[in-house]
Structure 1
Amino acid sequence: MDLIGHLEELRKRLILTLGIFIVFFILSFVYVQSIYNWLIKDLSIKLAILGPSDILWVYLVLSSVIALAGTIPIAAHQIWLFVRPALHKNEQKVTLAYIPALFILFILGICFGYFLIFPIVLNFLLSLSQDMFMDFFTAEKYFRFLINMTLPFGILFELPVVIMFLTSIGILNPYRLQKFRKYAYFALIVTSVLITPPDFLSDILVIIPLLFLYECSVLLSKIVYRRKQKATEQAA
C-alpha cells in the first residue's frame, strides 16, 4: 500500500472512532442526570451554579468522560487493525490481547483517582479552611477538580500496555527506556505537578504511583522484548 492508501486507511479508522465516540456521547448525555446524582450522593453540601452555562458545561464534561471511556477499546481496536498488516501472525494475536487491557487499566486508573486520591486531597484541602471559610462549591469548580484528580490517572495507567505494544512492534525496547529514565521521571513529575492542586501532599500522592507505573512498564517491556527475541531465534 502506498502513502495515499495508508492515509485513506487512517482516515477511515479515525472517522469510525469519532462516530463511536459521538454515539457514546449521546447515550451518556441522555443519562447524565443519573451519573451526576451518583457522583454527588456522598457530598455533604449542595453544589451551586453561577449561570445557565454552568449546567451545560457539567452535562458536556460528564458525557465526554463517559464517552471517552467507552470509546477506548474501539479506538485501540482500530489502531490494531491499522498496524496489523505490518505484524506477524503471532504478534497479531499478542497485540490483540492489549485491547481489553487498555480499557481495564483506564477504568482502574479512574477508580484509583476517584476512590483514593480525590477524597484524600479534597479532605486535606478542606481541613485547611476549617473555621476560617464557608464551604461554597460551584458545580463547575467541583467537577473540574474531580476530573483533574481522576482522568489523568485513567490515561496514565495505560502507560504499561502502550509501552508493551510499542515494544512488541519494535518501536521501543527496555534498554532505551532505562537510558531515558531520568527524562521520563522529570516528565512525569512535571505532569503530576500540573494536574494536581498546588500543595505538596497532592504532588507526592500522584508522583509515587506514576513512577511506579513507569518502572512496571520497563519490567513488562523486558518480558515482551525477551519473548520477541526468542521467537525470532526460533524462526531463524
Structure 2
Amino acid sequence: MTDQASGEESFISHLIELRDRLVKAMIGVALVCLVLLLWPGPAQIYDFLATPMIESLPVGSKMIATGVVAPFFVPFKLTLLLGLIIALPWVFYQIWAFVAPGLYAHEKRLVLPLVISSSLLFVLGVAFCYVFVFKRVFHFISEFAPTSIAVTPDVDNYLDFVMSMCLAFGATFEVPVVVVILVRMGIVSLQKLRSIRPYVVVGAFVVAAIVTPPDIVSQLSLAIPMCLLYELGMLVAPIFVRATRSPEEAA
C-alpha cells in the first residue's frame, strides 16, 4: 500500500512539474510576442517580410488586401508566428529540463545535441529561404507574368506562401538530424545510406520540383543543399554514435 501511495505521489509530482514547465514555456512565448508587438511592431515586421516581393514588382507597386480586417489581422498573425519561432529555444529548454532528470548520462549526450542542432538547422533553412530564394522566385514570377496581368499579390496569400516555403526549407534542412537518428537507432546502417546516395539525389530533385515554384533556380536552391546536408549527416553520424554510446555498448 505504501508503494502504491508513493507511486501516486510521484505521478502527481511529475504532472505538477509538467504543468509548471508548460506554463513557463507559454509565458516565454507570450513575452516574446508582446515585445515584438511593441517593437518593431506588426506593420514593420510584415514590411520586412514583404521586401523581396516588393523589390521584384514595378516601381511604386504595392500589395493589396482583399479582406476588411486583413491589414490588421495578417501582420498580427505574422508577429505571433515569429514570436513562437524566436521562443522555440526556451520552449525546447523547458522540455529538456522536464525529461533530463530521468535520462542516463549517455542519453543526455544523445538528446541535447539533437535538440540544439535541429533548432539551428531549422532557423538556418528559413534564413536561407528568405535571403537566397525569395528574391529569385519573385523576380521569376514577375518576369514570367504576361504584360496584360498586373502582379498585385494579396497580403494573406503572400503570407501563406512565404510560411509554406519557410516551413519546407526549414524541414529539409533537418536532413542531417534524420540521418544521424537513423544511424544511431540502428534502423539504417551507414553503408546502406551510402549505397542509396543516387536515389537520394533523385528524390531531392523530385521534392524540390514539388515544393518550389517551377523555375530551375529555386529547385536547385533546395535540391543542392538537401544533397549536401545528406552528405554532412553521413559524416557526422559515426562521430555522434561513438560519443553517445552507453557503457554496455562501449563494452
Q: TM-score, length-normalised on structure 2?
A: 0.70
Q: CA, structure 1 residues 39+98, in 2 after alignment: closer, same or farther (shift >3 Å)? A: same
Of 117, 126, 146, 1:110 maps to 126
The answer to whether the 8 Å contact 2:36/2:42 transfers is yes
Change (3 A) 1:41 1:128: closer
My pick for the range that moved more, 123-132 or 9-18, is 9-18
> What does residue 25 of structure 2 align with?
17
Between 1:38-47 and 1:173-182, the stretch displaced more is: 173-182
* Identity of matched residues, %: 25
1:128 CA displacement = 1.0
Matches within 5 A, 1:167-178: 171=185, 175=189, 178=193
CA 41–185 in structure 1, closer or farther in 2 if over 3 Å, else same: closer
Q: Name 1:148's counterpart in structure 2.
A: 164
Q: Cα offset for 1:232?
A: 5.3
Task: Name the structure 1 match of 2:49.
Answer: 39
- The answer to whether the 8 Å contact 2:45/2:75 transfers is no
Q: 2: distance between equivalents of 1:193 and 1:126?
A: 19
1:78 aligns to 2:94 (yes or no): yes
**Aligned pair 1:225/2:235, yes or no?**
no
Deviates more, 1:170-179 or 1:45-54: 170-179
1:134 aligns with 150
1:138 and 1:226 map into 2 onto residues whose CA distance is 51
How many residues align? The count is 232
Structure 1 residues 12-59: Cα deviation after superposition (integer angstroms, max 9, x where no partner): 544433332233233333321221233345624211111223224422
Deviation string 1:96-118 (CA, Å, 9 cap, x unpaired) is 45555444333321210001111
Structure 2 stretches of 5 or more lacking a match?
Answer: 1-6, 56-60
Which structure would you say has the larger Rg?
2
2:213 corresponds to 1:205: no
Unmatched tracts of structure 1, length 5 or more: none
Normalising by structure 1, we get a TM-score of 0.74
Kindly report the root-mean-square deviation, in angstroms, between the aligned alpha carbons of the 2 structures. 3.9
After superposition, what is the alpha-carbon deviation per residue over 1:128-179, rounded to whole angstroms, capped at 9, x for unaligned? 1153422212212222222222233234324434665x479x6456617839
- Tell me whether 42-51 or 109-118 shows the greater mean CA deviation: 42-51
